[in-house]
């Protein structure tokens, strides 16, 4: 096949992936998830308030937060500085950008590992079929996990380049690819730590195996290399465990089933689909049989061990289950691409011995494979993702009204959904926010103020405003209540009546 045809096919596959990922935004311009609003808030917090992302951006008083994804927020802040406009409106385009980046990186990685264009192309095609659910937040969202996938693929690319650098190359041990790998790892630590722990687990199993020649880089025999590596690994693990216990950090490395609510036990086979799972099994068989690059075997092995650790003992080590399952599925897409090529080659080799005109057999085989792949697409996406919307156009317009007419010292009282959009759009503060990937303040009082009787509203605000003024060190100089229904209270002054309705709260001196 000519080079331009290969490039065209790859672009077509990536376009399909983009359409599948971007589908929820065809008729909805805003972020889909409260987590996305929270990440936008951190980015805007860095830009507007010139502070590191270690305090809750929604609250007027300095509530500290543990932010293990600060690298992602610095990336957003840099982007918001460069790109003009409202981040809430263009945030959805990051989905397209990173689908292109991750698809290209996956294609390149598979080409490096297996030197087969069609395996790489089909891997990208299957990558796009990984579906999002309420717990597995994959292609349809732009989250730290998205960049975590980017960094995972980059890390494997640089690791392969370093591992396979020529043995007679000057400074073979410490070459540019190892430097690139170290830089990528450092970025991963700040951006998405589960990627690093997953990468470490896979490479650890791979190095312990005998399916590499890394010992030559250290001028050691393989037996001596593995002995030294095992001793160094044991020492590192013991020191890490002691430090985690001493610093009370075990909650960041041991994840119980309550860490991420899982609605169902995701089957390692059925979730990906019967058809691609069969392809993946055949791809696994082809790698074992043909002695190809075997690091993908340890990708799969580490994933399976952790998945069943969670199912049996209700906890995971190093990687939260939902993130682990996404990484596992990416490994399956690589195997599925390998499996399709293996089926095609095996079929053609079999009939080539008995038929002179093999052209019809090739056409029939390709047709059957395409039918199976299209059937898989149908079963996976016959019910497209349709998550509940956080805000609508009317809510966005109301928040824009606040932004244009009231300065940042005003506290916004809104329901649990709208509260997540308040700071990203208005830069106004709120009383509290329910826990998503970020929570804090006094979230229960929002709904109480919205739905309570007029008398109760006044009692709450007369008491609570004074307490909150103490918390905010005098920064709360006014309150605006957002309501989806008309409020007839003397303590509320209507300021916007297009729906949702905005009221300025009258405080007693």
| Residue 433 tokens, joined | 């926010």
CA neighbours closer than 13 Å in the CB half-sphere of residue 54: 4
Coil, strand or helix at 444: helix
pLDDT in tens, 363-382: 888 888 888 888 877 777 77
Question: pLDDT value at position 155?
Answer: 97
Burial class (CB within 10 angstroms; exposed 0-12, middle 13-18, buried 19+) of 133: middle
Q: Max CA-CA distance within the chain?
A: 97
Question: pLDDT value at position 164?
Answer: 86
pLDDT in tens, 137-155: 899 999 999 999 999 999 9
| Residue 46 tokens, joined | 């860095």
For 122, phi then psi, to 5°, come to: -70, -30
Question: pLDDT value at position 288?
Answer: 87
DSSP code for 501:
E
Q: Where are the alpha helices (DSSP H) in 406-434?
A: 416-426
For 412, phi then psi, to 5°, come to: -100, 130
| Residue 386 tokens, joined | 């349709």
Coil, strand or helix at 413: strand
- CB under 8 Å to 290, separation ≥6 — which residues? none
Average pLDDT, consecutive stretches of 10 residues, N- to C-terminus, the chain (509 residues): 90 95 94 95 93 89 87 96 94 97 98 94 94 87 96 97 71 78 95 94 90 80 85 85 75 74 72 90 90 88 92 84 93 95 86 71 82 80 80 95 84 91 92 82 84 86 65 65 91 89 82
Q: Give one DSSP letter per residue of 337-368, joined into a string.
A: HHHHHHHHHHHHHHHHTT-S--HHHHHHHHHH
**How big is the chain, counted in residues?**
509
| Residue 327 tokens, joined | 């990484």
Taking CA atoms, 461 is separated from 144, 260, 263, 420, 458, in Å, by: 38, 35, 39, 22, 5
Contact 419, 428 (CB under 8 A): no
């Amino acid at each position: 096949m000519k080079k331009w045809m290969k490039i065209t096919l790859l672009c077509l596959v990536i376009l399909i992936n983009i359409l599948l990922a971007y589908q929820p935004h065809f008729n909805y311009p805003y972020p889909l998830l409260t987590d996305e609003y929270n990440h936008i808030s951190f980015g805007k917090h860095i830009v507007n308030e010139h502070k590191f992302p270690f305090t809750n951006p929604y609250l007027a008083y300095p509530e500290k937060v543990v932010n293990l994804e600060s690298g992602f927020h610095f990336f957003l802040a840099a982007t918001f500085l460069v790109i003009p406009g409202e981040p809430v409106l263009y945030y959805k385009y990051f989905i397209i950008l990173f689908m292109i980046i991750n698809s290209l990186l996956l294609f390149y990685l598979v080409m490096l590992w297996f030197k087969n264009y069609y395996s790489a192309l089909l891997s990208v095609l299957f990558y796009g079929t990984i579906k999002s659910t309420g717990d597995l937040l994959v292609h349809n969202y732009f989250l730290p996990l998205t960049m975590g996938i980017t960094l995972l693929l980059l890390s494997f690319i640089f690791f392969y380049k370093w591992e396979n650098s020529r043995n007679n190359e000057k400074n073979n041990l410490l070459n540019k690819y190892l430097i690139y790998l170290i830089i990528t790892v450092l970025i991963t630590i700040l951006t998405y730590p589960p990627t690093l722990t997953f990468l470490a687990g896979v490479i650890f199993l791979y190095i312990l195996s005998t399916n590499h020649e890394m010992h030559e880089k250290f001028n050691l025999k393989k037996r001596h290399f593995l002995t030294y590596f095992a001793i160094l690994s044991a020492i590192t693990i013991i020191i890490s465990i002691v430090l985690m216990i001493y610093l009370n950090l075990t909650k960041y490395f041991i994840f119980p089933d309550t860490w991420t609510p899982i609605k169902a036990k995701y089957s390692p086979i059925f979730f990906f689909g019967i058809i691609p799972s069969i392809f993946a099994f055949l791809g696994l068989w082809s790698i074992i049989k043909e002695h190809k690059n075997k690091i993908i075997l340890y990708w799969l092995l580490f994933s399976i061990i952790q998945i069943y650790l969670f199912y049996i003992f209700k906890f995971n080590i190093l990687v939260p289950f939902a993130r682990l399952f996404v990484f596992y599925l990416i490994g399956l897409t690589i195997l599925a691409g390998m499996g399709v090529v293996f089926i095609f080659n095996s079929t053609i080799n079999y009939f080539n011995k008995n038929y002179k005109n093999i052209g019809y057999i090739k056409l029939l085989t390709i047709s059957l494979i395409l039918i199976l792949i299209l059937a898989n697409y149908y079963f996976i996406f016959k019910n497209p993702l349709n998550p509940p919307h956080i805000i609508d156009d009317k809510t966005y317009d109301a928040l824009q009204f606040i932004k244009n007419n009231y300065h940042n010292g005003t506290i916004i009282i809104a329901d649990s959904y709208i509260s997540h959009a308040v700071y990203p759009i208005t830069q106004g503060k709120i009383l509290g926010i329910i826990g998503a990937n970020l929570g804090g303040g006094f979230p229960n009082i929002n709904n109480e103020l919205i739905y309570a009787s007029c008398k109760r509203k006044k009692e709450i605000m007369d008491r609570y405003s004074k307490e909150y003024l103490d918390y905010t060190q005098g920064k709360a100089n006014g309150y605006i209540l957002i309501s989806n229904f008309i409020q007839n209270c003397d303590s509320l002054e209507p300021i916007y009546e297009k729906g949702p309705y905005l009221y300025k709260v009258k405080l007693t001196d």
